[in-house]
């Protein structure tokens, strides 16, 4: 009997040593065998590029596998988005992109090589940022009402600068013309319009907070009159929303960045990716990066995100149609 017990004990010790014990915090398997590419439609150095790189860095740790940013600027994001659409649906290629390429470009370009609602699957919305109407600090207008009242007295002479024709800033300004019965003069820029606003060449610009935040700090050289979104920015609590000032339809007209996958990636893998991204997007490192560029962390996924994208697509499309925007 003693010999039998001794043999059983030896077997149990051997089995315990041979059987692998799962770590308490096992890392998620990578979405593909190859390194994961985040294709972004902007050059290195942009705010969105910095956010994408931080996200890729954190996901590399989650997956125990390299993830890197692949910059493909040009053609208003069409080149980068098309590359993702045509990539293999194995999770090795993902899109880190902005609202403009998904929900605005289809209404400003006559023909795209893809349908963003059909050929891409949203994985996660990483962050949102309001659009802001800004004037020079020397401008006598202290409120949106005062600015618009002055514009009505000078039809076609009060200007606003934007990121370019057919961009969210352009469409927002034209929507403001329709809703406020003004004739603000649109001046499109391929680069930042802030210099001309500071120099007095422009009367106003529509921008994101990230591009003008340094000029709003004391001693402020610029003044923000209104922002989109349904709440005030925690970093600029004195700036009222358009909604607070009588234009509630402007609340949803915010910029955002998110991760998309090619439509050929199975839904189960998209859902798994969303679960893996969520704690990283909500984590302190990514949230700090987002906030430094004027974004707020979102983390929207699943059906809620799919509906959000559809609504955003319809919203910008309606504005483009209302102003009779000529397609490129």
Q: Three-state SS string across the chain, please?
A: CHHHHHHHHHHHHHHHHHCCCCCCCCCCCCCCCCCEEEEECCCCCCHHHHHHHHHHHHHHHHHCCCEEEEECCCHHHHHHHHHHHCCCCCCCEEEEEEHHHHHHHHHHCCCCCCCHHHHEEEEEEEEEECEEEEEECCCCCCCHHHHHHHHHHCCCCCEEEECCCCCHHHHHHHHHHHHHCCCCEEEECCCCCHHHHHHCCCCEEEEEHHHHHHHHCCCCCEEEEEECCCCCECCECCCCECHHHCCHHHCCCCEEEEEEEECCCCHHHHHHHHHHHHHHHCCHHHHHHHHHCCCEEEEECHHHHHHHHHHHHHHHHHHHHHCCCCCC
Contact call for residues 212 and 130 (beta carbons, < 8 A): no
Domain stop point among 250, 272, 302: 250
Q: Same domain, yes or no, for 108 and 167? A: no
Can you read off the two tokens belonging to residue 35?
Answer: 């390194």
What is the mean pLDDT of the segment spanning 301-325?
95
User: Which tops the pLDDT comparison, 18 or 137?
Assistant: 137
| CA 133 to each of CA 136, 184, 193, 240: distance values in angstroms, whole numbers, following the listed order | 11, 12, 12, 11
Within 8 A by CB and 6+ apart from 238, the residues are none
Would you say residue 19 has pLDDT above 50? Answer: no
Q: Which of 164, 47, 170, 172 is nearest to 98 (CA)?
A: 47
Q: Same domain, yes or no, for 155 and 60? A: no
* The total number of structural domains that make up the chain: 2
Residue linked to tokens 């935040």? 213
Domain stop point among 198, 230, 250: 250
Residue 322 half-sphere exposure toward CB, CA atoms < 13 A = 15
pLDDT band per the 50, 70, 90 thresholds, residue 15: very low
Would you say residue 30 has pLDDT above 70? Answer: no
Within 8 A by CB and 6+ apart from 261, the residues are 84, 89, 91, 94, 95, 120, 121, 123, 269, 270, 273
Q: Which of 231, 228, 230 is nearest to 209 (CA)?
A: 228
Asked if residue 17 is part of any domain, the answer here is: no
Q: Same domain, yes or no, for 142 and 60? A: no
Report the sign of the C-alpha dihedral through residues 324, 255, 87, 303, in that order.
Answer: negative
Asked if residue 25 is part of any domain, the answer here is: no
pLDDT band per the 50, 70, 90 thresholds, residue 325: confident
Q: Same domain, yes or no, for 244 and 148? A: yes
Q: Same domain, yes or no, for 122 and 262? A: yes
The bridge status of strand 93-98 relative to strand 36-40 is parallel
Which residues partner with 122 through β-bridges?
260
For residue range 86-142, list pLDDT tens digits in order. Answer: 999 999 999 999 999 999 999 988 889 999 999 999 999 999 999 999 999 999 999
pLDDT band per the 50, 70, 90 thresholds, residue 190: confident
- Structure confidence at residue 74 (pLDDT): 86
Domain stop point among 195, 219, 250: 250
Q: Same domain, yes or no, for 106 and 205? A: no
The bridge status of strand 222-227 relative to strand 67-71 is unpaired
Which residues span the domain enclosing 62?
A: 36-128+254-322
Would you say residue 33 has pLDDT above 90? Answer: no
Of the ranges 110-124, 252-266, 292-306, 314-328, which one carries the lowest mean pLDDT score? Answer: 314-328
Q: Same domain, yes or no, for 217 and 279? A: no
Q: Same domain, yes or no, for 196 and 220? A: yes
Asked if residue 53 is part of any domain, the answer here is: yes
Asked if residue 111 is part of any domain, the answer here is: yes
What is the mean pLDDT of the segment spanning 38-50?
93
- Structure confidence at residue 32 (pLDDT): 64
Q: Same domain, yes or no, for 124 and 258? A: yes
Q: Same domain, yes or no, for 100 and 166? A: no
Can you read off the two tokens belonging to residue 32?
Answer: 């593909």
Instruction: Report helix angle 47-63 to 284-292, nearest 10.
Output: 170
Q: Same domain, yes or no, for 230 and 275? A: no
Range with top average pLDDT, 28-32, 75-79, 149-153: 149-153
Cα angle value 109/261/72 (rounded, 5°): 55
Asked if residue 4 is part of any domain, the answer here is: no
The bridge status of strand 255-262 relative to strand 120-129 is antiparallel
Contact call for residues 106 and 191 (beta carbons, < 8 A): no
Q: Which CATH number goes with the domain that contains 199?
A: 3.40.190.10
- Structure confidence at residue 76 (pLDDT): 84
For residue range 279-308, list pLDDT tens digits in order. Answer: 999 999 999 999 999 999 999 999 999 999
Contact call for residues 244 and 229 (beta carbons, < 8 A): no
Asked if residue 20 is part of any domain, the answer here is: no
Of the ranges 185-194, 219-228, 302-311, which one carries the lowest mean pLDDT score? Answer: 185-194
Mean pLDDT of the chain: 90
Asked if residue 135 is part of any domain, the answer here is: yes
Q: Same domain, yes or no, for 183 and 169? A: yes
**pTM of the predicted structure, to 2 decimals:** 0.87
Report the sign of the C-alpha dihedral through residues 66, 96, 54, 278, in that order.
Answer: negative
Would you say residue 24 has pLDDT above 50? Answer: no
Asked if residue 75 is part of any domain, the answer here is: yes
- Structure confidence at residue 242 (pLDDT): 98
For residue range 55-84, list pLDDT tens digits in order. Answer: 999 999 999 999 999 999 988 899 999 999
């Amino acid at each position: 009997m003693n010999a039998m017990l001794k043999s059983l004990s030896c077997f149990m010790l051997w089995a315990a040593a041979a059987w692998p014990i799962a770590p308490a915090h096992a890392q998620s398997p990578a979405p593909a065998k190859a390194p994961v590419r985040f294709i972004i439609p902007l050059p290195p150095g942009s705010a969105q590029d910095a956010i994408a790189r931080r996200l890729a860095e954190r996901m590399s740790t989650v997956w125990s596998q390299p993830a890197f940013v692949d910059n493909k600027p040009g053609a208003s994001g069409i080149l980068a988005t098309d590359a993702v659409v045509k990539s293999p649906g194995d999770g090795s290629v993902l899109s880190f992109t902005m609202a403009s390429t998904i929900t605005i470009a289809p209404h400003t370009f006559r023909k795209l090589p893809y349908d963003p609602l059909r050929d891409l699957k949203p994985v996660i919305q990483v962050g949102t940022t309001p659009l802001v109407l800004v004037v020079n600090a020397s401008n006598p207008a202290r409120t949106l009402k005062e600015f618009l009242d002055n514009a009505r007295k000078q039809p076609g002479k009060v200007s606003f600068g934007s990121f370019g024709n057919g961009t969210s800033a352009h469409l927002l300004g034209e929507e403001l013309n329709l809703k406020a019965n003004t004739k603000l003069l649109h001046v499109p820029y391929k680069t930042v319009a802030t210099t001309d606003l500071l120099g007095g060449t422009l009367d106003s610009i529509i921008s994101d907070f990230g591009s003008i935040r340094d000029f709003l700090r004391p001693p402020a050289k610029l003044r923000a009159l209104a922002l989109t979104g349904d709440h005030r920015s925690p970093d600029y609590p004195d700036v009222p929303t358009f909604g607070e000032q009588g234009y509630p339809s402007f609340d949803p007209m915010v910029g955002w960045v998110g991760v998309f996958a090619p439509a050929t990636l199975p839904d189960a893998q998209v859902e798994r990716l969303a679960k893996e991204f969520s704690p990283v997007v909500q984590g302190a490192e990514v949230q700090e990066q987002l906030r430094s560029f004027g974004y707020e962390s979102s983390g929207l996924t699943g059906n809620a995100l799919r509906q959000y994208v559809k609504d955003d697509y319809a919203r910008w499309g309606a504005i483009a149609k209302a102003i009779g925007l000529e397609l490129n």
